[in-house]
Chains A and B, each alone.
Chain A
Amino acid sequence: MKKLILNFCVASILLLTIFSCNTSQQKPAEKNEKLRIVSLAPSITREIVDLGLKNNIVGATSYCEITKTIKELVIGTATEVNIEKVILLKPDIVVTTALTEPNIIESLRKNGINVYLVSKMHSFGEICSHFKELGKLLDREAVADSIIAVSVKKIDSLKSIIPAGTKKKKVFFQIGANPIFTVIPNTFMNDLITMSGCENIASGFTKGTITRESVLQRNPDVIFVVTMGILGEDETKAWQSYKDMSATKNSKIFVVDSDMACTPTVLSFTRTFEQVVTNIYF
């Protein structure tokens, strides 16, 4: 009888050990599916959230929206990165843009961290292809594709309601004050203007600074001013004081939210485009 009980105990212990091994083997498998992502740019963070991977973000900048609520995620500012903190987080991937200094990227890579660098996007098309790439990287390609498809459809429908046969309107898109900064060609924001069937008054510019006189001289039909905090509020008033300017005469001076307009993501571009088209034509 004693021998039977002893054998039973040994057998149970052995069985239990085997089963627990199995379960512990499963845990690593789950860990592998939970991607740990660090984002070094607000636009990237936005895109990661758009892809449904909000909970996978283990580190973001103080300018990213997500850190407003989850402060522990902060690993730096838009340009500065706390490298040690990033390393300690053991991320699977760090996604960054050209805003981050090359030596920070070098440093991270030297420490064996996988850094994915997103280059500057010069058009809406590039925003889309980049988003698709990001989706692929984070195993959410399908989500990316569907977002892109919906947005492109929205944009096409907006384009179709642009009244035909109108003379090309001249648009001035102001993104800075003191000194005045304008949107220039070969940037994604320029697409907002060209895709609306309009012409950028700074179409020949290679640098973004422009004088007030130059703007006035080009007599824009529509002016967009992005929100710039305390400094930009009065730009709208200033433009309105030039009574002979076309945009003033037709009351086509608009304010655009800078977070929405200046962030290179598919969804924000689409939203901005909607406002731009509506403001210009309706």
Chain B
Amino acid sequence: MKNKHLRRVVWITLLLILLAGVMLLALAVGETSFSILELVRILKSKSGMEYSIVYNIRLPRILLGLATGGALSLSGALLQGIYRNPLVEPYTLGISGGAALGVAVTIVFGLDLSLGTYLLPFSGFAGALAVVFLVYFLAIGRSNFNINRMLLIGVMISFMASSAMMLLMAITSAENLHSIIYWIMGSLDEPDMILIRTALISSVAGLVISYLFANQLNALRLGVTRAKHLGVNTDLTIRILFIIASLLTGICVSIVGVIGFVGLIIPHLMRLLIGSDYRILLLTSFIGGSIFVIACDLVSRTIIAPNELPIGVITGMVGGLVFIVVLSRSKFKIQ
């Protein structure tokens, strides 16, 4: 027992150190890079262009990456726990489809709700919520719901949202098309601090609340029936966790667009490296996701500087590669 605890503490410490390291690196590196000493000097000066770059541009991106990477990973872990399906991730459920559709509708119909910067995040979130409600009431509303039914409905809605979006994209102007596609591909370039703070607070809150259900999630690994036999209120647990995961995903997608793969890969990677016990998996997924997204963002804004690649491209390619490498080196079990 002691060994297991020690091992977990060591891993978490390592992850936290890695997170700090990646954040520091992301602060220092960019189109112009600074050394650590220079970085300290710049931060102390509190004025000047270099300070603006580090404090007003890079730092918000890093914080946003931390929040969204953590939240998306956490959602993935929660959903994989509820559905007991390794292919489930926040986007399989149609949440991102709904968000993208919401944004597309706003752009194509030129809706101006006097929300300024918050227009697109608002429409994205509204779209995501609409999908969540739909899935919830179609599948969970009844007292004896079927998990697989929920998954199917989510996938179906995802496809429908995609089709609706393609319809909109086919009839709209080139510049609208460009905007929609750019939004879909994801970007951490969001200067509004209120949105960033929302992301940070909600992702951390999500993590804390999820921990209330860590034990139940472990019991659910044996299946819904067994978990019930062990005294778990599976209905309540699944509903609450579904809502948490959906909200976290909705918030992330509406602020940064669709950054795929994080919710799928990071939890599996953490399972392989550290273990499937949810008491540790929730935290490791969160930190792992943060590290991953911050690192990918760093690559996306430096690899073709002064231009920027959409972060979704990097997460997809790097994530996929890393995963295949780790996978081929170990026995794979997901439950």
Cross-interface CB contact of A217 among B53, B179, B182, B301, cutoff 8 Å: B53
Q: Tell me the smallest distance from the CB of B192 to a CB of chain A, in Å.
A: 8
At the interface, yes or no: B35 with Cβ under 8 Å from chain A? no
Q: Are B308 and A217 in contact (CB under 8 A)?
A: no
CA distance A211 to B58 in the complex (A): 11
Q: Tell me the smallest distance from the CB of B184 to a CB of chain A, in Å.
A: 11
Which range contains the number of A residues in contact with the other chain? 20 to 34
Contacts A233-B116, A234-B117, A241-B191 hold; do A212 and B174 have CB atoms under 8 A apart? no
At the interface, yes or no: A79 with Cβ under 8 Å from chain B? yes
CA distance A214 to B187 in the complex (A): 16
A213 contact set on B, CB distance < 8 A: 30-31, 53, 57-58, 301
At the interface, yes or no: B231 with Cβ under 8 Å from chain A? no
A241 contact set on B, CB distance < 8 A: 56, 191
Q: Are B51 and A244 in contact (CB under 8 A)?
A: yes
B57 contact set on A, CB distance < 8 A: 212-213, 216
A176 contact set on B, CB distance < 8 A: 175, 178
Cross-interface CB contact of B308 among A78, A179, A219, A237, cutoff 8 Å: A179
B:112-129 near A, CB below 8 Å: 112, 116-117, 119-120
At the interface, yes or no: A238 with Cβ under 8 Å from chain B? yes
Q: Are A217 and B31 in contact (CB under 8 A)?
A: yes
CA distance A179 to B307 in the complex (A): 10
Q: Are A229 and B173 in contact (CB under 8 A)?
A: no
Q: Are A211 and B191 in contact (CB under 8 A)?
A: no
Contacts A211-B189, A230-B112 hold; do A216 and B305 have CB atoms under 8 A apart? no
- For A212, A219, A230, which residue has the most chain B Cβ atoms within 10 angstroms? A230
Contact with B along A90-131 (1 / 0, CB 8 A): 000000000000000000000000000000000000000000
Contact with B along A75-88 (1 / 0, CB 8 A): 00111000000000
Q: Are B182 and A245 in contact (CB under 8 A)?
A: no
Q: Are A78 and B173 in contact (CB under 8 A)?
A: yes
Q: Are A78 and B174 in contact (CB under 8 A)?
A: yes
A243 contact set on B, CB distance < 8 A: 52
B:27-78 near A, CB below 8 Å: 30-32, 47-49, 51-53, 56-58
Which range contains the number of B residues in contact with the other chain? 35 or more
Contact with B along A221-256 (1 / 0, CB 8 A): 000000001110110011001111100000000000
Contacts A77-B173, A78-B174, A230-B119 hold; do A216 and B49 have CB atoms under 8 A apart? yes
Q: Tell me the smallest distance from the CB of A47 to a CB of chain B, in Å.
A: 22
Q: Tell me the smallest distance from the CB of A222 to a CB of chain B, in Å.
A: 16
B106 contact set on A, CB distance < 8 A: 230
Q: Tell me the smallest distance from the CB of A106 to a CB of chain B, in Å.
A: 21
A77 contact set on B, CB distance < 8 A: 173
Q: Are A237 and B306 in contact (CB under 8 A)?
A: no
The stretch among A13-21, A140-148, A202-210 that forms the contact with chain B is A202-210
A210 contact set on B, CB distance < 8 A: 306-307
Q: Tell me the smallest distance from the CB of B305 to a CB of chain A, in Å.
A: 7
A78 contact set on B, CB distance < 8 A: 173-174
Q: Tell me the smallest distance from the CB of A232 to a CB of chain B, in Å.
A: 10
Q: Tell me the smallest distance from the CB of B170 to a CB of chain A, in Å.
A: 11
- For A77, A214, A219, A238, which residue has the most chain B Cβ atoms within 10 angstroms? A214
Specify the chain A residue showing the minimal Cβ separation from B47: A244
Contact with A along B293-335 (1 / 0, CB 8 A): 0000000010001111000000000000000000000000000
For the complex of A and B, list the 4 residue pairs with the smallest distance between their C-beta atoms, beginning with the closest: A214-B306, A234-B117, A244-B52, A209-B307
Query: Interface of B with A (CB < 8 Å)?
Result: 30-32, 47-49, 51-53, 56-58, 106-107, 110-112, 116-117, 119-120, 173-175, 178-179, 182-183, 187, 189, 191, 301, 305-308
Query: Interface of A with B (CB < 8 Å)?
Result: 77-79, 176, 178-179, 205, 207, 209-214, 216-217, 219, 229-231, 233-234, 237-238, 241-245
> With A178-B179, A230-B110 given, can you name 19 additional A-B contacts, CB distance below 8 Å?
A78-B173, A79-B174, A176-B175, A178-B182, A179-B189, A205-B306, A211-B31, A211-B305, A213-B31, A213-B53, A214-B31, A217-B53, A229-B110, A230-B107, A241-B56, A242-B52, A242-B56, A244-B49, A244-B52
